[in-house]
Amino acid sequence: MNHLSHAAGKTMLLLAALCFFVESTPARCQGAEAQAQTTAITVQQMAVMPFVRGTTEAQKKEDKLDKTLDCQFRSLCVFDEDIFPADEDVVTRLVQTELRRKFNDKMVPLARVRETYGMLEKETTDTPLEVAVRLGQSLGVDHVLVGLVWRYQERVGSAMAATDPASVAFSLFMVDVTSQKRVWKGSFRKTQTSLSENLLDAPLFLKTGMKWLTAEELSNYGVKKILKQLSIQ
C-alpha cells in the first residue's frame, strides 16, 4: 500500500507541476484552447449583452468579427443543430456571474440588460456591434461585452465514464460604446480529453475534480480562464 501511495503521490506531484507549467505559459502556447488579450481597459460601467448563437459557417468569418463585429445577424443566427435554444443563455449567465465576482460595482444587473435588450428594435441586417452600441447607449454604460457561442455539445455518459465528452467554443468581445470599436477579445475552444490521451488536460482535471465535465461545467472553466486575462481599471 505504501508503494502504491508513493506512486500515486508522485503522479499527483507530476500533474501539479504540469498544471503550473501550462497555467504559466502564454495562451498562444496552449494549443489555442484559450486566448485573450491582456490590455487594460478603463471602464466606468459595463453590461453583458445576451449571447448570440453562431453557426459553423459564421465561425469561419471570425477573423473579420475579431476586427469589427460587422457580420450581420442573419449570417450568425441561423439554427445550428449542435446548439440548442438555451445554450447561449447558459454562457451569458456564466460570464455575468464571473464579471460580477471580479467587478461587482461596475456591472449592470443581467435582468435589467435583458429587459432593455428585449425592447431594442433589431433587424436581421443589424450587426452585433451596432446592437451592442445601441444597448450601451440605452443603458447609459460605456462598455458592452458581446458573446458568440459557436459550439455547445453536451457530454454523453456520466462524470466517471463518458462515451462522448463535452465540447464548447465561444468568443467574447468588449465594445467601447463611445468609439463604437472592439477593445478586447477572448476566446475558448475545448473538447475534453482523457489524461491518457493528452497530459496537457491535467490543469482541467485537477481544477474540476478529476471527472468528465458537462458542457456547462466546461464552459464555466473556459469563462474563468478567459476573464482571468481581462484587466479593468
Instruction: Write the DSSP symbol of residue 167.
Output: E
> Contacts from 84-87 at CB under 8 Å and sequence distance 24+?
84/152, 87/53, 87/149, 87/152, 87/215
**Residue 19, pLDDT score:** 43
Q: For residue 17, which amino acid is it?
A: A
Q: What's the pLDDT band for 25 if we cut at 50, 70, 90?
A: very low
In this structure, the dihedral spanned by the alpha carbons of residues 170, 101, 106 and 111, taken in order and rounded to 10 degrees, is 70
pLDDT band at 205 (very low <50, low <70, confident <90, very high): low
- Domain 2-232 coded CATH 3.40.50.720: no
pTM of the model: 0.77
The domain segmentation of the chain, as residue ranges, is 2-232
Task: Give tens-digit pLDDT for 85-138.
Answer: 467 899 999 999 999 999 999 999 999 999 999 999 888 788 889 999 999 999
* Phi, then psi, of 163 in degrees rounded to 5: -85, -30
Residues facing residue 40 across a β-bridge: 231
Most confident of 16-30, 68-82, 137-151: 137-151
The x, y and z cell numbers of residue 200, run together, are 496537457
